[in-house]
Structure 1
Amino acid sequence: MPGERMPYERRRVDVADRVLREWGLTLPESFFRFWTFLEGLGPVERQALADMDVAAAGVADLCADPGLPARDGIDVRAHGRYYRDPPEFLTFLHGGSDGLHYGLWFDDGRTCDGVASYYTHDGGGLDRRWRTPLEALRAKLERHWRDLADDDADAAYLAARMSGLERMREALTALETGDRTEVGLAYSNTYDTGLPPEDPDRITTLDAGGALVAGRTALDRPPHQGADEYRFAQYMYGLFEDAAAVEAGVADALRWCADGDPAEALVLGRDLHWASAGDKTREAQANTLLVAAYRALGRTSLVEIAEAHHRHRDLPRVDVLDTGGV
Structure 2
Amino acid sequence: MFDGETIAVRGSTGTTYELTRRGSVYACTCPAWHKQRLPPAQRTCKHLRAHLGDDHEEARVGQTRVAAAHARAVRSAQLAPREPPELRAAREAAVRDAVARFPAVAERMRSVYGMPLPRHIAYAVGFWLGLTPAERDEAWAYLGCGLFGVTEWFEPDGLSRTPAVDERLHGRFRRDPPEFVTVFSGNSDGSHWGLWYDDPHELPRVIAHNWARDDAETGSCRPTLLASLRGRLAECAGQPDWTHAPRILAWLDRVHELELAAHSDERIGPPLPHTHHCLGGMDPRIDGASIPAEFADPAARRTRMAAYREDIPLVRTWLAEAERELAAGRPLRALLFGRELHWFDTDIVGAQLGEQFVDLTSRAYRCTGREPLADILLVHHRHRDMPCVDAYRPASDPPLVLAAGRNDTEELARLLASELDPAACDAALARARSRTAFDLLRPHVAPAAVAQRLATLIAELAQLRRYDLESSEHAALVDHLLAGDVAVGSAFAQAVIADLPELALRLADRVDLESRDGQGLLPLHRATQAGALEVVRRLLARGADPLARDAHDTTAIDRASDLWQDHRAESHALLALLRPAAPPPAPSTTLAAGDRVTHAKFGPGVVTTIEGTGDAAKLTIAFADATRTLLARFVRRAE
Pairwise TM-score range, normalised by the shorter structure: 0.7 to 0.9
CA contact 1:204–1:210 (8 Å) conserved in 2: yes
In the TM superposition, residue 301 of structure 1 has moved relative to its aligned partner by 0.8
Structure 1: which 5+ runs fail to align? 1-6, 150-154, 179-197
In the TM superposition, residue 309 of structure 1 has moved relative to its aligned partner by 0.6
Q: How do residues 122-137 of structure 1 correspond to structure 2 at under 5 angstroms?
A: 122-123=214-215, 125-137=217-229
* AA in 1 matched with 2:326: C
Q: How do residues 11-30 of structure 1 correspond to structure 2 at under 5 angstroms?
A: 11-30=101-120
Look up the SS of the partner of 2:160 in the other structure.
Answer: coil
Mapped to 2, the partners of 1:142 and 1:285 lie a distance apart of 47
Are 1:96 and 2:164 matched, yes or no? no
Specify the alignment match of 1:294 in structure 2. 365
* 2:230 aligned to which of 109, 128, 138: 138
Quickly say closer, same or farther: Cα 1:177–1:283, change in 2 above 3 A. Answer: farther
* 1:319 aligned to which of 366, 387, 390: 390
Quickly say closer, same or farther: Cα 1:268–1:141, change in 2 above 3 A. Answer: same
Mapped to 2, the partners of 1:124 and 1:57 lie a distance apart of 17
In the TM superposition, residue 54 of structure 1 has moved relative to its aligned partner by 2.4
Quickly say closer, same or farther: Cα 1:263–1:26, change in 2 above 3 A. Answer: same
Specify the alignment match of 2:135 in structure 1. 45
Specify the alignment match of 2:245 in structure 1. 165
Quickly say closer, same or farther: Cα 1:297–1:47, change in 2 above 3 A. Answer: same
Mapped to 2, the partners of 1:172 and 1:98 lie a distance apart of 25
Quickly say closer, same or farther: Cα 1:321–1:81, change in 2 above 3 A. Answer: same
Q: How do residues 213-252 of structure 1 correspond to structure 2 at under 5 angstroms?
A: 213=286, 214-215=288-289, 219-222=293-296, 228=298, 231=299, 233-240=301-308, 241-252=310-321
What is the CA deviation profile of residues 83-109 of structure 1, one whole-angstrom value per residue up to 9, with x for unaligned ones?
000000001111112111111100112
In the TM superposition, residue 306 of structure 1 has moved relative to its aligned partner by 0.9
Look up the SS of the partner of 1:130 in the other structure.
Answer: coil
Q: Give the TM-score, by structure 2 length.
A: 0.41
- Identity, in percent, stands at 29
Look up the SS of the partner of 2:305 in the other structure.
Answer: helix
CA contact 1:276–1:282 (8 Å) conserved in 2: no
* AA in 1 matched with 2:163: A
Mapped to 2, the partners of 1:204 and 1:25 lie a distance apart of 27
Specify the alignment match of 2:83 in structure 1. none
* 2:211 aligned to which of 119, 133, 154: 119
Specify the alignment match of 1:35 in structure 2. 125
Are 1:306 and 2:351 matched, yes or no? no
* AA in 1 matched with 2:325: W
Deviates more, 1:245-254 or 1:296-305: 245-254
* AA in 2 matched with 1:307: L
Structure possessing the higher relative contact order (Cα contacts under 8 Å, 6 or more residues apart):
1
* AA in 2 matched with 1:80: G
CA contact 1:216–1:264 (8 Å) conserved in 2: no
CA contact 2:278–2:301 (8 Å) conserved in 1: no
Specify the alignment match of 2:255 in structure 1. 175
Deviates more, 1:233-242 or 1:88-97: 233-242
In the TM superposition, residue 132 of structure 1 has moved relative to its aligned partner by 1.0
In the TM superposition, residue 134 of structure 1 has moved relative to its aligned partner by 0.6
* AA in 1 matched with 2:177: P
What is the CA deviation profile of residues 143-188 of structure 1, one whole-angstrom value per residue up to 9, with x for unaligned ones?
5558xx4xxxxx6xx2xxx22111111111012279xxxxxxxxxx
Are 1:67 and 2:163 matched, yes or no? no
Structure 2: which 5+ runs fail to align? 1-96, 259-271, 398-639
Look up the SS of the partner of 2:358 in the other structure.
Answer: helix
* 1:277 aligned to which of 326, 343, 346: 346
CA contact 2:98–2:125 (8 Å) conserved in 1: no
What is the CA deviation profile of residues 10-60 of structure 1, one whole-angstrom value per residue up to 9, with x for unaligned ones?
532211101111101111122112112122223343233234442211111
Mapped to 2, the partners of 1:58 and 1:257 lie a distance apart of 33
* AA in 1 matched with 2:197: F
Quickly say closer, same or farther: Cα 1:117–1:9, change in 2 above 3 A. Answer: closer
Look up the SS of the partner of 1:104 in the other structure.
Answer: strand
In the TM superposition, residue 258 of structure 1 has moved relative to its aligned partner by 1.6
**If you compute each CA radius of gyration, which structure gives the higher value, 1 or 2?**
2
In the TM superposition, residue 324 of structure 1 has moved relative to its aligned partner by 0.8
Quickly say closer, same or farther: Cα 1:93–1:8, change in 2 above 3 A. Answer: closer
In the TM superposition, residue 203 of structure 1 has moved relative to its aligned partner by 7.1
Q: Give the TM-score, by structure 1 length.
A: 0.78
CA contact 2:291–2:332 (8 Å) conserved in 1: yes
What is the CA deviation profile of residues 212-238 of structure 1, one whole-angstrom value per residue up to 9, with x for unaligned ones?
12437665434xxxx65xx55423211
Specify the alignment match of 1:3 in structure 2. none
Mapped to 1, the partners of 2:153 and 2:396 lie a distance apart of 16
Specify the alignment match of 2:335 in structure 1. 266
What is the CA deviation profile of residues 187-220 of structure 1, one whole-angstrom value per residue up to 9, with x for unaligned ones?
xxxxxxxxxxx94x75732112121124376654
Look up the SS of the partner of 1:211 in the other structure.
Answer: coil
Mapped to 2, the partners of 1:11 and 1:163 lie a distance apart of 32
Look up the SS of the partner of 1:320 in the other structure.
Answer: coil
Quickly say closer, same or farther: Cα 1:8–1:129, change in 2 above 3 A. Answer: closer
